[in-house]
Structure 1
């Protein structure tokens, strides 16, 4: 006989109550799981990353954000001298290595500040990380941060000190350069007054006064020019400028002193060469180079000015070379000739009215136009200054696409090539017919004693100053 067990009867109300209880239990479990997950997430976010030196939880609220936007290098140390937080600039300066402060003097300052709570500041010279070059000048300031931490702020003063040194040097040089002609004018004016009864003496002193006044005017004008090229953006008023026009203006500017010394000024037509820039600044730069070449060349010599296009990775460039047959420049002087007020021969500079600012202006003009100026020189042989500027593509009539700028250039024979010497027969024979025809149309600005020169004036090897 089969045994059966009867279950108790459950009405609808009992079923609903059971379901409600089960739902409540499930909700409690789900909520508990959610709370645990949320708290676990918070703990995970609070954990330091592998790149952190220490937990950020010890920093006062908001400090981390402030340190991240500071321009100064920032380092936070705890009571054990361990780096809690360091900015990327601090690593770049080499202040932090292996989680520790690497500068002993700064570490000692931090310990003293932690002990007495006093703010300390000092200026230091730090060696560069590479171990080469000028030491870094820094200002270090240490202050307490809360009860256990110390904040170190370090500012790099190297560039500021360099600029200040340049400013002091510039002011001192300007004062000295102005003092010389002004003092001379004062003495000469007294001499004129004392020689009122001697017309010849008055005329002689007046002539010298005119020379000093001209020198003073030139100095003031070049200081103004230098200030302009340093502060203005020449590319705001940039335009295609014909190299022929720049050369012609420079030659006209120096024609009188060149004729007085019977110096031949030889140029080569370059109708298809254009540079991009400020016409006035480019004319002043090239004029300074030509003027220097004339002033430092002996009588009865030659000065050559020539332009050519060269291919460069970033775009075609134009080189304008000015070559003289002067006394040359020593290697030591070549390192400094582009400094303001520097003169290779101060006595000669005073005699020619030089201010020592001309080459500095050339350097700044070239740099502001995206170019450079270089110099090659050999003592007793002369110098070649080369102004290298970006070409104004598409300006004027372009040369033939297949034209080789170096075609017909004489091969290097191992000897020094005189950049202003007449072409040899071999060089002339090696020149393509198209170049020979162009040579017939060359333009020369010369004295009656001029000699013909090859179409291209070859600068000697460039040596960066």
Structure 2
């Protein structure tokens, strides 16, 4: 926000100079001056300046009509039919007119007239000008505030998630020492300690993976990666887990596709998608992974037959530590970082992660990446089709 104020001050000085010149020019000269296309005496330079600003900027006349507003103000719905729309903004403007002082306030406004349209956080500054005019500057702070919240949540969740298995291990070790003469209790507590140790190991490894992805040189040594090898290795890593859950993992799709990137990171991403699918699938069900070319992109889709996700869960499923069903995550050992890692891997490779889901109908998570091979023809192959060999438990 600090960066826009020199430009705003320059605009205000331009307006002031214009008003002074109007006062000294003879009446006849003013009558002969060409009228502004937008009315209200707004100069061309001022209009161009307002259009160039990233902030949403509005210039109002003494009657509250909008003399000039840049495209951003219209796109956010602050202006309609030359009037300021949000009631909260109009209230702040009225306060500025009443006391003649500039006011700054944070406002949370709806994104649109429909319910459930979401909200925008604006840092709003309203300043009085001469001749009853008012300047309104609004900066969208939604993304910055969300990033701050995500960071705070990440720190809090890491602390909590690490404390849980560490505390459990400490408690179990004390209990085990007290039950040294009871072989059955020793076996039971030892099994619990193994589960907590695996959970702690997985959590630490995923935090390390996530930290690595946030380094600016994560993909400095990109190479040509065969997706056949990536998918085969990822399926092999989850084979034991699939057999223990009595779930079939089927691998299929197109062969011979390549991308540029890091083979280990891509294998981790596909394995995380398979891990997620296994955790949300019932015994004797099927998890499929398919690879398909889509023009100049390649799609790696993992399909499960689980409980599915609601629209609200789909919006947050790639967030760090987000778990739609915390109770199920505790039972299955999920850390809430796997899908976040998938999203980061996709972004670092110039791609994206997608999800399709419907409650009761399972989910399809897709890793979309730029194809290394030059495109020739668009593929019509369904990425969810998995007609290849299956890993049968």
TM-score scaled by length of structure 1: 0.62
1:93 paired to 2:72: no
1:161 paired to 2:115: no
Q: Which runs of 5+ in 2 are unaligned?
A: 1-25
Deviates more, 1:98-107 or 1:215-224: 98-107
SS in 1 for 2:194: helix
SS in 2 for 1:208: helix
1:329 to 304, 308, 312: 308
The answer for the alignment partner of 2:38 in structure 1 is: 51
2:104 to 121, 126, 132: 121
1:342–1:43 distance in 2 versus 1, CA, 3 Å: same
SS in 2 for 1:51: coil
SS in 2 for 1:183: helix
The answer for the alignment partner of 1:463 in structure 2 is: none
CA distance in 2, matches of 1:382, 1:151: 52
CA deviations on 1:44-66 (whole Å, 9 max, x unpaired) are 99644313542449xxxx98897
CA distance in 1, matches of 2:178, 2:73: 69
1:339–1:79 distance in 2 versus 1, CA, 3 Å: closer
The answer for the alignment partner of 1:373 in structure 2 is: 354
SS in 1 for 2:238: helix
Deviation at 1:254, TM superposition (A): 1.7
Deviation at 1:281, TM superposition (A): 2.3
CA distance in 2, matches of 1:339, 1:89: 28
CA deviations on 1:58-107 (whole Å, 9 max, x unpaired) are xxxx9889766654333344555455554443344344455554455544
Deviation at 1:283, TM superposition (A): 0.8
CA deviations on 1:273-299 (whole Å, 9 max, x unpaired) are 223333222111111122234444455
CA distance in 2, matches of 1:339, 1:345: 14
SS in 1 for 2:37: coil
The answer for the alignment partner of 2:340 in structure 1 is: 360
CA distance in 2, matches of 1:358, 1:297: 16
1:52–1:135 distance in 2 versus 1, CA, 3 Å: farther
CA distance in 2, matches of 1:402, 1:88: 39
Residues 419-458 of structure 1: pairs in structure 2 closer than 5 A: 446=392
SS in 2 for 1:137: strand
Q: Between Structure 1 and Structure 2, whose CA radius of gyration is higher?
A: 1
1:285 to 256, 260, 269: 269
What is the root-mean-square deviation of aligned Cα atoms in Å? 4.4
CA deviations on 1:116-139 (whole Å, 9 max, x unpaired) are 333322333334456562233323
CA distance in 2, matches of 1:287, 1:156: 37
1:182 to 161, 166, 189: 166
CA distance in 1, matches of 2:281, 2:41: 69
TM-score scaled by length of structure 2: 0.71
